[in-house]
């Protein structure tokens, strides 16, 4: 039932555009495997083999640590309504930090130059495998709306409060791996 595709084609793009959530999975050797839900409104297909998303400040920073330590990353979209389908994008990711040229380029090209309050990085994934599967086991859910909680929290913290929070809570992963989120951006990344 699984089907491997040569790249992110028009059907994949259309499927991604209809989804409200995706999941990012990452790991580093010897550490915990992490999987995190993300809102799809911050996700962009850059080309047939590259995707990116705006990563906002949260309680953990496992993806950033795993990108720094290993780089392996998988993104999964599931159809919670409509025809059943699962789409996985496998590859190697990198963290693009605010202040870097690559960050600005992707932000401008894919997100209209606007980063929501609390954006701590853009995750860019070079996709080396595109795979679909049946999705028959995925339950049906009705989408109501996005939660305003993260936006409200970030607004209340403000830029200085968010920077302090990242220094305190996002500097290392649960396994003690550095995330790099507290480091200055490399101008070229």
Model confidence over 20-76: pLDDT tens digits?
999 999 999 999 999 999 999 999 999 999 999 999 999 999 999 999 999 999 999
Non-local CB neighbours of 169 within 8 Å, separated by 6+ positions? 59, 60, 61
Indicate whether 186 belongs to any domain.
no
Q: What percent of the chain has pLDDT over 70?
A: 99
Residue 19 pLDDT: 97
**Mean pLDDT lowest for which of 21-30, 45-54, 94-103, 176-185?**
176-185
**CB contact at 8 A, 78 and 132:** no
Degrees, nearest 5: CA angle 50-54-60: 115
Indicate whether 176 belongs to any domain.
no
Residue 186 pLDDT: 78
Question: Is the per-residue pLDDT at 187 higher than 80?
Answer: no
Look up residue 138 and give its DSSP letter: S
Which domain does 156 fall in, by range? 3-135+148-169
Residue 40 pLDDT: 95
Indicate whether 8 belongs to any domain.
yes
Indicate whether 177 belongs to any domain.
no
Residue 178 pLDDT: 96
Tell me the pTM: 0.95
Q: What is the CATH number of the domain that holds 66?
A: 2.30.110.10
> What's the total number of domains in the chain?
1
User: What are the E-state strand segments in the chain?
Assistant: 3-5, 21-26, 34-39, 43-47, 50-56, 72-78, 86-96, 119-133
CB atoms within 10 A of CB 174: 12
Indicate whether 83 belongs to any domain.
yes
Half-sphere exposure of 98 (CA within 13 A, CB side): 17
Indicate whether 163 belongs to any domain.
yes
């Amino acid at each position: 039932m699984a089907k491997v595709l040569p790249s992110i084609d028009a059907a994949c793009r259309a499927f991604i555009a209809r989804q409200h959530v995706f999941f990012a999975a990452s790991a580093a050797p010897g550490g915990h495997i992490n999987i995190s839900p993300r809102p799809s409104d911050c996700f962009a297909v850059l080309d047939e083999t590259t995707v990116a998303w705006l990563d906002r400040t949260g309680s953990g920073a496992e993806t950033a640590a795993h990108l720094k330590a290993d780089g392996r990353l998988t993104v999964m979209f599931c159809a919670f309504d409509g025809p059943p389908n699962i789409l996985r994008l496998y590859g190697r990711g990198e963290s693009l930090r605010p202040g870097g040229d690559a960050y600005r380029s992707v932000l401008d090209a894919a997100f209209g130059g606007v980063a929501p309050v609390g954006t701590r990085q853009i995750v860019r994934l070079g996709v080396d495998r595109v795979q679909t599967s049946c999705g028959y086991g995925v339950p049906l859910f009705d989408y109501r709306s996005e939660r305003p909680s993260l936006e409200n929290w970030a607004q209340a913290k403000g830029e200085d409060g968010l920077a302090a929070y990242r220094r305190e809570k996002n500097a290392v992963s649960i396994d003690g791996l550095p995330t790099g989120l507290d480091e200055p951006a490399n101008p070229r990344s």
